Amino acid sequence: MPARHLKPPPLERLIFWSVAILLLSQMAWWIGLQVRASKRFQEAKIDRMKAGRAEAWQMDTMDVLQIKLRPSEVGGPPGVVVGRFNLPETPLFSRKQTIERRFPYVAVVPAPVEPDDLLLVDNSAYLTLRQDVLEAMEKERTLILWRTAGQGGLMVAVVLLGMVYIYRKLNTELDLKLQQRNFIASVTHELKTPIASLRVWIETIFTRQLDEERKERIQKLMDGDLQRLTELVGNLLEAARAEAGQLEYNPVPLELAPWIRSVSEGMDHRLGQGLLGLRLELAEGVWANADPRRLATVLENLLSNAFKYASEPRSTVITLDGNKDEVFIVVSDRGNGIHPREIPRLFQRFYRVGDEMTRAVPGTGLGLFLCKEIIQRHHGEIRASSLGSGLGTTFTVRLPRLAM
């Protein structure tokens, strides 16, 4: 049973994006509200400053005109205003100092800066709001808005990151659950098929009279089923050891060219003479410190995949090369290929490519997982590459080179 890439249920994805959009909308509304509120607050401060400017104009006017109020005379009007011009006695410089000392945000200038600037009563100058004070207010307002937006953005980012984490964990858990279910189904199928086949052959042998040629043929078929069961159980045990970090590793100096030739020819014979379309391009005199039995598991798995995931006529090429520090073993085929999005997950435990071209291929999803664990024990690396579905696959194994 092939694995499929699991996605979270549509309802959960809808909830996630709805909450994300709602949070961003609330953030935008809140920032807009802060912008409007700060603008109104600044306008109110400017209005108070303009009222102070008017008060400064009134003070200067009273000083220039020397306006005084005196108590009303008996029987007379409540009060009379007595005034006179005192310009020569109050020079503009002195008046400017008095105004700007009492009203720090007001400046006395010779020409108007804003259309509503006030002209002094003697037409000698204008009263305006100081531009540096207004600019400082605007900078302070901008700084407060940025700080507010940063705090709100940080809050939204933290909430969204938490949601993304939960979303991804949910996706991972559901994906692992599906892979395990597919693994159980695959193992069940892999066990059931040879067991059923063995039962049929045993019944045939004990219930019918067979000639020697037929018995030999049945024996070979039974040996094949037993070999299949042995490999399956062995893979399960090896995967358990690898996951527990207990994979045995007994390296020895190994000349790779004759070893690859021996393993690949044995695998070609086991799968069917010539059915792999095997071609070897091996550099001689290349050595590595490796466990021959473990490394054979890697090569056999790669050749088995090249056989299972390609239709006839197959073409499989094994290349051995190296440089001063590393050895390269490359296994290429012209089979079904792999979509680029599947490659990062290819070496995960239980994972199997599940496109339409490979749905009927048996397997447990443990082979490449074991390959990765074995190569890592050799302090090496294994990678897969493919141009896409139907364009074949290339596996590259890199190992430290042993100088001989």
pLDDT digits (tens, 9 = 90+) for 390-402: 788 999 999 999 8
**Is the torsion defined by CA of 343, 346, 351, 353 positive or negative?**
positive
Q: If you compute the radius of gyration of the chain from its CA atoms, what whole number of angstroms results?
A: 44
Distance of alpha carbon 171 from alpha carbon 347, whole angstroms: 18
| Cα dihedral sign, 322-309-367-354 | positive
**What residue ranges of the chain have pLDDT lower than 70?**
1-12, 66-90, 178-179, 182-183, 185-187, 189-190, 243-244, 246, 350, 352-365, 404
Q: What integer pLDDT is reported at residue 73 of this predicted model?
A: 46
For 64-107, write each residue's pLDDT tens digit: 776 554 454 445 455 444 444 444 455 778 888 888 899 999 99
Instruction: Tell me where in the chain the CATH 3.30.565.10 domain(s) lie.
Output: 252-400
pTM of the full predicted structure?
A: 0.52
Q: How far apart are CA 169 and CA 156, in angstroms?
A: 20
CA distance 357 to 119: 89
Residue 112 and residue 128 in contact, taking contact as beta carbons nearer than 8 Å: yes
Least Cα distance to 404 among 290, 261, 251, 255 occurs for: 255
pLDDT of residue 357: 40
The predicted pLDDT at position 331 comes to 94
How far apart, in whole angstroms, are the C-alpha atoms of residue 396 and residue 27? 49
- In this predicted structure, what is the pLDDT of residue 183? 66
Assigned token pair, 136:
């400082």
Contact (CB, 8 A) for 287 and 404: yes
Round to whole Å and give the CA distance between 143 and 255: 70
Q: Which two tokens stand for residue 201?
A: 């052959």
The pLDDT of residue 67: 58
Using alpha carbons only, what angle is made at residue 390 by residues 188 and 398, rounded to the nearest 5 degrees? 80
Query: Would you tell me how many other CB atoms lie within 10 Å of the CB of residue 165?
Result: 10
Answer yes or no: CATH 3.30.565.10 is held by domain 252-400. yes
